[in-house]
Amino acid sequence: MAAGKLYLVPTPVGNMEDITLRALRVLKEVDLILAEDTRTSGILLKHYGISQPMQSHHKFNEHDTVSRVADRIEAGTDIALISDAGTPGISDPGFMLVRECASRGIEVECLPGATAMIPAVVSSGLPCDRFCFEGFLPQKKGRATRIESLRSEQRTMVFYESPYRLVKTLGQFVQAFGPDRQVAVCREISKIHEECCRGTLQDVLTHYSSHEPKGEIVIVLSGAAAESAHGKSDDEE
């Protein structure tokens, strides 16, 4: 029997219409869907009339399940991996399973589709020809060190953040990068209350200190100027 295939299928980050026709076809055709939270994904699948079997695959069990999942694919089972929202593997489970499949020579097909990162950086008004994705900062150990390591980063930086830590993070950014560094905080991308708050770090910190942030957050931070990063401007070199 021929081996199956692993499909990585992006799901909407907000509006349910933000899913491709190809993604819907794949989800209807595979033998099994691995979902970060079967209850959350079940709402989406029910909306589109998809009734394939589901199984949980999340950060708390993926260490234990990747080998068994890869075994099933080798035995001929086609499996799709989805996360609660966005593209699997981007600040969500997926990497370990892809690595296991790749090491065994199992075919992995990643469909293009929804992610919160790209709409945020493109709509931020900050340079998006070159940028780096930092994902979630460490919550405790290593957090200050990570922020400090980015002090001289010249590319636009993209972070994911919880609304409960946003004010704290912006305050740490003010200390590390200065109050005048430009930033855009994009909230609830593709949802009814989508918002992008742009300005200096100090301005945006002041705003969210008096307006409680809610929903999914993407922070887009401008990079260091060449003079700040190297100690002199390009014209002086």
Q: What does the pLDDT look like over 6-58, one tens digit per residue? A: 999 999 999 999 999 999 999 999 999 999 999 999 999 999 999 999 999 98
- For residue 11, the model assigns a pLDDT of 96
- For residue 230, the model assigns a pLDDT of 46
Q: Are 93 and 58 in contact (CB under 8 A)?
A: yes
Q: Are 85 and 12 in contact (CB under 8 A)?
A: yes
The pTM (predicted TM-score) of the whole model is: 0.89
Q: Please determine, for residue 92, whether its predicted confidence score (pLDDT) is greater than 90.
A: no
Q: Please determine, for residue 236, whether its predicted confidence score (pLDDT) is greater than 70.
A: no
- For residue 203, the model assigns a pLDDT of 97
- For residue 233, the model assigns a pLDDT of 44
- For residue 228, the model assigns a pLDDT of 52
Residues belonging to the chain:
237
Q: Are 49 and 71 in contact (CB under 8 A)?
A: no
* Residue reference for tokens 């349910």: 16
Q: Please determine, for residue 237, whether its predicted confidence score (pLDDT) is greater than 60.
A: no
- For residue 226, the model assigns a pLDDT of 52
Q: What is the DSSP string of 22-79?
A: HHHHHHHHSSEEEES-HHHHHHHHHHTT----EEE--TTTHHHHHHHHHHHHHTT--E
Tokens at 10, concatenated: 């992006």
**Cα separations in angstroms, 178 against 35, 61, 114:** 41, 41, 33
Q: Please determine, for residue 102, whether its predicted confidence score (pLDDT) is greater than 90.
A: yes
- For residue 227, the model assigns a pLDDT of 44
